[in-house]
Structure 1
Amino acid sequence: MSTISVHGTASPSLKAARGDAARERRGTFLLLGPALVFLTLLSIWPFAYLIYASFTSYQLAIPIPIEWVGIDNFTKTLSNPRFWSSLSITLVFALIAVPLQIAIGLALALLLNGVVRGREIYASLFLIPMMVAPIIVGFSWNLFLNPIYGPLNSFLKSFGFDPPAWAQSSSWALPTLVLVDTWQWTPFVMVVLLAGLNSIPRRVYEAARVDGSNAWQTFAHIVLPMLFPYITVALVLRFIDSFRVFDIIYILTRGGPGTVTQNLAYYTYDMGFGRFEFGTAGALSIVQLVLLTAGTMTILGFAKRRDKAPAPAKPLRPTVIGQSQSAPQGRVK
């Protein structure tokens, strides 16, 4: 049935459909409008102002006019040895903490995946560190690792050991931060990988068992490749968070001793709220964003190339002309 009348005007049914679509669009805008305004005020506008401040001489404590300095803040940042020291500390922290969390999280996920009864209870217990606020985690570990009255050092001294000062030691401060971050965020990796293990159908394991694969072969050649997308998600999220670690550093070490635990996040905080050089802090934030974007794209690009890699072709058995490729039949006597 045609929706256009002989006079070239739209039929009533088409007009009604257009009216319903217009009302639906207005309803969508009314529902999303407050969220968009909230997002604009709390995310987009501060980020735009941060970009503007990174090109100015904005200083909070000194009442001087704000001047446009161009890329001077960026050149000053990149030529500062303190920036490169903070970047190296950030990379060392990420390259140690993130793989460690992936490995332990995978082990815990495999352990819980094999549990039949009480899996939810055990998983909830493992999730407790992740549910605690980072500042509470920092204060708790600060008390636990205190070199004078901390229970860990008291326990080690009772066995005749001479424990270090942990967070106050230049040799142990960074490993201590890795330990605390791993303790808190390994459960997140465990949850992601456990979801991946639960998505693998049982028939996959049954087919591997029928083919004669042992537990290690099944894990290495079947389970691990199927878990790779979930590992990529956990790796990207933890890599991003490793650049943003601030709470436990502020509570445990304050970037010290000296600057041995001063990562990019703490260095940016010190420039903005310690020295009140908001322009330089803005430039540091933009540089950190660029580094995070490049690192994330590198990880995702590697994962994409791996997914597109062709599977190795199975070698064909040489055949004789006139003989099929099937298994040779035994002679009939």
Structure 2
Amino acid sequence: MTTAPTLKAGPRTVRGRSGARVPGGLAAPAVAFLVVFAAYPLVYLIGLAFTQSTLAQPLQRWTGFDNFRSALESQSFTGSLWRSVLFAVLAAAVQLVLGTALALLLRARARRPGLLGTLLLLPLVTPPVMVGVAWKLLLAPVGGALNGVLHVLGLPGVNPLGGATSAFITLVVIDSWQWTPFVMLLTYAALLGVPDELREAAALDGAGRRRTARSVVLPYIEPTLLSVLLLKLVIGFKVFDIVYVVTAGGPGFSTTTSTYDIQRTALQEFDVGAAAAGTVVFSLLIGLVTAVVALRRKRHEEVAV
């Protein structure tokens, strides 16, 4: 009688999402990277949020939920949360509509973006601080280029950054000027993947360009649009550069976003514990808002399958 050969245990393996086994040695660098650059900062942030901490002396004394309580009782911080949500949603919606429209126009014009597409991408490669400086000089009430043009035309000058609502809308415009090309680029890449057979079939059914775009092309690239929307929401929540350069959170607190308020709490008031607690609350809010879009995209994928 013969016996089955005994298999010796090989090196430790890790099972991936596809079911394939990966040697543990190959996965070790990725695990170490996650521990150093993700797990450790997260644990340290939570530690700061539950302790009395300053820049010079972090993790001094356990305070429980006192930092969270003071953050949620602060009108400045709670107001910044709603302004951050409004800014992220409004900017993402505007940029998704404009970027998709520009991508459709470029796709209808030619298969390659050409010189026009390159020019449209220039705001995207401009550093955010330079964007803020340029727009602040453009909109300056005294000596600004905008009021200079209005003066030549015999029209009264304006100060878009002088009012609460106008300053907030101006920041949305500036952010849209910079990030709409990003949405356009991703959408244009998705449009290149739409099969020509779908357009030809729609044309045979008598659908024009607008009907084809609305009823055939856009539903086909909807998963990409939802992914772009999700990405833009996260970027919108993180906005800091243009707020810092253009308005510094003013006038009053009308343009103070959560990122700016947290920075001010940590680096101007030196209350790192409260800033850490605000960061945790802000992160939970971002997760709640983005989860809505993520669930919509997941349902779309399930229907498609």
TM over 0.5: yes
CA contact (8 A) 2:81 2:282 kept: no
Taking the aligned partners of 2:241 and 2:248, their CA distance within structure 1 comes to 9
Taking the aligned partners of 1:195 and 1:64, their CA distance within structure 2 comes to 47
Q: Give how far 1:307 is off.
A: 5.2
Structure 2 counterpart of 1:52, from 37, 47, 53: 47
Determine the structure 2 residue equivalent to 1:237: 231
Structure 2 counterpart of 1:179, from 173, 181, 192: 173
Q: Which has the larger radius of gyration?
A: 1
CA contact (8 A) 1:196 1:230 kept: yes
Taking the aligned partners of 1:229 and 1:171, their CA distance within structure 2 comes to 33
Worse-superposed segment, 136-145 or 225-234:
136-145
Map 1:212-227 to 2 at 5 A.
212-227=206-221
Matching residue's letter, 1:53: L
Taking the aligned partners of 1:101 and 1:253, their CA distance within structure 2 comes to 21
Determine the structure 2 residue equivalent to 1:320: none
Map 1:245-264 to 2 at 5 A.
245-264=239-258
Worse-superposed segment, 230-239 or 81-90:
81-90
Q: What TM-score do you get using the length of structure 1 for normalisation?
A: 0.81
Matching residue's letter, 2:209: A
Q: Give how far 1:52 is off.
A: 0.7
Q: Give structure 2 stretches of 5+ with no counterpart.
A: 14-21
Secondary structure of 1:70's counterpart equals coil
Determine the structure 1 residue equivalent to 2:74: 80
Q: Give how far 1:105 is off.
A: 0.2
Taking the aligned partners of 2:114 and 2:215, their CA distance within structure 1 comes to 28
Map 1:1-333 to 2 at 5 A.
6=2, 9-10=5-6, 18=10, 25=23, 28=26, 33=29, 36-60=31-55, 66-116=60-110, 119-306=113-300
Q: Give structure 1 stretches of 5+ with no counterpart.
A: 311-333
User: Are the structure 2 counterparts of residues 117 and 85 from structure 1 closer, same or farther at C-alpha, using a change threshold of 3 Å?
Assistant: closer
Aligned-pair identity in percent equals 34
Taking the aligned partners of 2:165 and 2:139, their CA distance within structure 1 comes to 15
Taking the aligned partners of 1:170 and 1:44, their CA distance within structure 2 comes to 39
**Runs ≥4 residues deviating over 6 A:** none
Superimposed CA distance per residue, residues 25-48 of structure 1 (whole angstroms, 9 cap, x where no aligned partner): 37625xx62x65455333332221
The count of aligned residue pairs is 297
Q: Give how far 1:154 is off.
A: 0.5
